[in-house]
């Protein structure tokens, strides 16, 4: 196994890596740096586009545009022209909230969660939303401090999500109806309070195992569908945020990370990494269907 730093310029808050099968490139974001990035592994070039506000998560589209979940709602962005077209803002009444983590289900619906910026309030103010192909937006589940961990099993019938808040540190699993887009039977998948890191971004591999970026613990953790720890990979920084499977064989693990100030030196924090030789492959994350 090899872990390589592939983008040395640290992001303030690297997140939401998404592999474009059509382009064979990796899209990712710098939330606090307000930028969309695209890394080309064939050239080693990383390009970026500034955003007008924090950009939490993204999804590819079939027409080479990107679907963005920004601080102020959803938007389409065309990297070829730089045009950004706003769509809708489901939390226009909550100016202190922004979108955080997101992914698509097997039908191409976009799931994305919100969170309060800055210090937590007196109660959890985040929620998970589902954006359909016709741009119908549905508030699905409330009561989260820091929405994270969204991922779907390879058959599309299990939905995972988490709350990274230090008081919660929990990953949940749901039964999921891919046709209706509705989760049910919520249960605790993993309680991470005995682990080194809190649950940040999630992803599922081709074996149906769930991968958690253990932020603060410097590790990626693979869980079986039953919630048992199957494998732990120590990474070169304490703050991994999310992974995506990429490469032609979907056998490269790309990992984003957070640059934190005011703590012990962590010189590689915020960089983008590629992990090869794990013997694990991923599944394609569908483009947004809209």
Q: Assign 3-class secondary structure to 130-186.
A: EECCCCCEEEEEEEECEEEEEEECCCCCEEEEEECCCCCCEEEEEEEECCCCEEEEE
Choosing from 101, 105, 163, 200, which is the catalytic residue? Answer: 200
Question: 134 catalytic, yes or no?
Answer: no
* Edge-to-edge strand list for the sheet holding 240-246: 2-7, 272-276, 252-257, 240-246
- β-partners of residue 181 are none
Count Cα neighbours of 232 within 13 Å in the Cβ-side half-sphere: 10
The separation between CA 79 and the C-alpha centre of its own chain, rounded to angstroms, equals: 20
Q: Whole-angstrom Cα distance, residue 272 to residue 4?
A: 9
Q: Whole-angstrom Cα distance, residue 187 to residue 179?
A: 21
**Cα end-to-end distance, the chain, whole Å:** 38
Give the C-alpha distances (Å, rounded to integers) separating 78 from 3, 66, 82: 31, 6, 5
Q: Whole-angstrom Cα distance, residue 11 to residue 221?
A: 23
The separation between CA 49 and the C-alpha centre of its own chain, rounded to angstroms, equals: 19
User: What are 15's two structure tokens?
Assistant: 């997140």
Q: Whole-angstrom Cα distance, residue 133 to residue 110?
A: 8
- Per DSSP, 205 falls in state B
Neighbours of 233 (CB within 10 A): 19
**Which residues are the active-site residues?**
200
């Amino acid at each position: 196994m090899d872990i390589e730093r592939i983008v040395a310029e640290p992001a303030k808050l690297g997140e939401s890596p998404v592999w474009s099968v059509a382009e064979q490139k990796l899209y990712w974001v710098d939330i606090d740096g307000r930028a969309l990035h695209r890394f080309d592994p064939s050239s080693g070039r990383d390009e970026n586009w500034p955003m007008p506000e924090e950009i939490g998560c993204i999804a590819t589209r079939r027409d080479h545009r990107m679907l963005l979940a920004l601080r102020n709602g959803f938007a389409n962005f065309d990297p070829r022209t730089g045009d950004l077209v706003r769509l809708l803002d489901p939390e226009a009444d909550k100016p202190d909230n922004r979108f955080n983590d997101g992914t698509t289900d097997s039908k191409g619906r976009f799931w994305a969660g919100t969170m309060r910026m800055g210090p937590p309030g007196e109660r959890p103010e985040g929620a998970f939303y589902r954006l359909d192909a016709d741009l119908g937006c549905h508030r699905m589940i409330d009561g989260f401090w820091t929405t994270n961990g969204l991922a779907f099993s390879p058959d599309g019938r299990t939905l995972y999500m988490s709350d990274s808040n230090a008081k919660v540190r929990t990953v949940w699993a749901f039964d999921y109806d891919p046709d209706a887009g509705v989760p049910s039977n919520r249960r605790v998948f993993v309680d991470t309070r005995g682990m080194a890191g809190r649950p940040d971004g999630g992803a599922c591999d081709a074996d149906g195992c769930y991968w958690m970026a253990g932020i603060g613990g410097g590790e990626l953790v693979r869980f079986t569908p039953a919630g048992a720890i199957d494998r732990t990979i120590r990474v070169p920084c304490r703050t991994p945020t999310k992974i995506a499977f990429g490469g032609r064989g979907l056998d490269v693990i790309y990992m984003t990370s957070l640059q934190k100030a005011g703590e012990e030196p962590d010189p590689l924090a915020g960089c983008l990494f590629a992990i090869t030789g794990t013997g694990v492959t991923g599944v394609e994350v569908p483009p947004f269907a809209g």
